[in-house]
Structure 1
Amino acid sequence: MMAEILMILMLGLGLELSSEEEKRKFKHYKMFKLSRVLHLTTTSRHRLLEVLSSRNVEVGDFLRDRRDFTYSAGISTATNNYAAKGYASDRIFAPYTVYKGKAAFSLSPCLPTFTKLDSGTVVVDRRGSMMITFMHSIGERKYDWEKRQRFALSATEVGSLITMGSQDSSEFFHDPSMLSSNAGQVRKSLSIKPNANSNGYFVSLTVVNNLLNTKDYFSVPVTTAEFAVMKTACSFALPHIMGWDQITNQQSRGTVGLQQKGGSQVLDLEWEK
């Protein structure tokens, strides 16, 4: 230990290490310091030293930038930390979002949930959908997520979107109280119509709430390229929102992977904020 202290003092005074043995010992000392920063095991420490030596990398360079290095290391463990706090570690957000001047919308799949019957048969408990989430613009590159509105496309409605041509239009109506005495109190309508130049579409959502006496309207222009991405993404996601991917993968896994009631996707229901 005294030898390491003397070498540190020599460097602090600007003195050079006189022998290769002293340089080697000091490099190992810096390696030990680095391992303490990164909480490495003995095996990992030796392995890292081998890698650094083979690439002629100075350990001191890593020590000087240890804050950046530690931050990079932290990224790799983010998923584990996230799961340890009680959140769903398997929930992945990868929406396709179209941003325009007055509004924006994102498109993402909501997978179905399954339940197992007493007979052992697994059936769909809640069907999946393609969720479109609309947001108003509240400034340059800023959108109001708190006042968002959702529209969940069913498998058949997704089929209508996929088969649309350049001159075709589609309109869908949703009412959570349909066929009840409260029908029409809250309703949503989604329309997809070609623009005048036939080089894109307008995707619009109208939400009428007679209970709160409110009416919300969103309209987002979409280019042909953006609409092509939407159609392709919907085509890819369609078997998944129907749950058919669970059937085709059942043999390889031996059982259907269940997403139970109350799972992470419940928060993405169309009628919830």
Structure 2
Amino acid sequence: MPPLQSSFTLHSSHPQLSLLSGCPLRRRIFFPQTLTLKRLHVSCHRSNYFEQQSVPSRSPEQMSFASQSNGNHSYRVYGVLHLQGKAALSVEPRPPEFSLVDSGAFKVSKEGFVLLQLAPAVGTRQYDWSRKQIFSLSVGEIGILMGLGAKDACEFFHDPFKGRSEEGKIRKFLKVDPLPDGSGHFFNLNVQNRLLNVDESIYIPITRAELIILNSAFNFILPYLMGWHALAETINPEVSIKSNLTSQRPVPELEWGR
């Protein structure tokens, strides 16, 4: 499109001036001036960079942070947090499991969890990982830990064989108690394994700063452990708008009266 031109006339605000007779300049005349402005033309082109970078839709298993494959190369992403002191504590999230239903959709068959691994110290900053003990925190137990105050305590009990014939042969107790000076909490894991004739307790003090880091990591990973990330990545705004326009939303009274 050719550029457009516009013009307007600029007049002086002073009329013709009459000076005294003794002045060499009797009068001064101001002539109107005409200024011409050019309107600039700007054109923008939408880049197709983002279309080229778009990622095809994936199944919930592919969206999980478990092991994946890329072509001929398989890899696994590890997100492990290590805390060290009188013992070593390793914190690692484990992804949820999905199952395929008859309609072709996926559902969460098993929620993810956070795996705690504690190893006793055998020297200065040396730990015996061959004697490590493990404890799996469920989504609900993570919520309890995140809600602990400076003077709060909690205790979890696990029996891996609960409901089976071997029930009671392995008992695990995880106690979280506040430190006397209020600077953090003690994590004490006691494992009683009658199958291996093991009764061992491993404890490690966790400072308030380390608890803040743990809570931040828990807060981030919780939606993934619940499988909500798989749902979020399948939400299409265009489909949602069409669905809202074509479907009749339920009456609030009927919805609450179910």
1:160 maps onto 2:161 in alignment: no
Cα displacement string for residues 25-83 of structure 1 (whole angstroms, at most 9, x for unaligned residues): xxxxxxxxxxxxxxxxxxxxxxxxxxxxxxxxxxxxxxxxxxxxxxxxxxxxxxxxxx7
246 and 222 in structure 1: CA distance in 2 versus 1, 3 angstrom threshold = same
- Give the AA of the match of 1:150: I
- Specify the structure having the higher radius of gyration (Cα): 2
Secondary structure of 1:251 counterpart: coil
Gaps of 5+ in 1: 1-82, 253-273
Instruction: Report the alpha carbon displacement of residue 172 of structure 1 after superposing the two structures with TM.
Output: 0.5
Q: Deviation at 1:139?
A: 2.5
Report the counterpart of residue 124 of structure 1 in structure 2. Answer: 108
Report the count of equivalent residues.
Answer: 170
After superposition, the Cα gap between the structure-2 partners of 1:194 and 1:95, relative to the gap in structure 1 and judged at 3 Å, is same
Q: Pick the structure with more helix per residue.
A: 1
The residue number in structure 1 matching 2:234 is 250
Q: Deviations over 1:223-251 (max 9, x none)?
A: 11001111111111111111111111112
Cα distance change on mapping 1:194 and 1:87 into 2, 3 Å: farther
> Which residue in 2 is equivalent to 1:149?
133
Residues 183-239 of structure 1: CA distance to partner in whole angstroms, max 9, x if unpaired? 211011111110111111101111101122211211001111001111111111111
Describe the shift of the 1:249–1:203 C-alpha distance in structure 2 as closer, same or farther (beyond 3 A): same
Could you tell me which residue of structure 2 aligns to residue 174 of structure 1?
A: 158
- Do residues 112 (structure 1) and 96 (structure 2) align? yes
Q: Deviations over 1:68-104 (max 9, x none)?
A: xxxxxxxxxxxxxxx79x8741x2222121100x311
Distance 1:195 1:88 in 2: 44
Work out the CA distance in 2 between the residues paired with 1:96 and 1:87. 26
Distance, in Å, in 2 between the alignment partners of 1:103 and 1:132 is: 12
Alignment partner, residue 97 of structure 1: 82
User: Which of 115, 128, 138 is the aligned partner of 2:122?
Assistant: 138
Unpaired runs of at least 5, structure 2: 1-68, 237-258
Q: Which has the higher contact order (CA 8 A, sep 6+)?
A: 1
CA RMSD between the two structures:
2.3
Aligned residue among 215, 221, 226 for 2:199: 215
Measure the CA separation in 2 of the matches of 1:167 and 1:140.
30
How far apart in 2 are the matches of 1:87 and 1:137? 37
The amino acid across from 2:79 in the alignment is A
1:47-86 to structure 2, matched below 5 A, reads none
Distance 1:201 1:165 in 2: 10
Amino acid at match of 1:93: Y
SS in 2 for 1:250: coil
Identity %: 35
Report the equivalent of 1:8: none
Alignment correspondent of 1:195: 179
TM-score (norm 1): 0.58
- Once residues 146 and 212 of structure 1 are traced to their aligned partners in structure 2, the CA distance between those partners, rounded to angstroms, is 14
Residues 132 and 87 of structure 1: CA distance in aligned 2, closer, same or farther (over 3 Å): farther
> Separation in 1 of the partners of 2:199 and 2:173?
12
Q: Is the 8 A contact 2:79 2:93 kept in 1?
A: no
SS in 2 for 1:157: helix
Structure 2 equivalent of residue 206 of structure 1: 190
Q: Which AA in structure 2 matches 1:113?
A: E
Question: Deviation of residue 168 (structure 1)?
Answer: 0.5
For the residues of structure 2 that align with 1:184 and 1:108, how far apart are their CA atoms? 26
Higher strand share: 2
Q: Give the Cα–Cα distance (whole angstroms) in 2 for the partners of residues 99 and 110 of structure 1.
A: 21
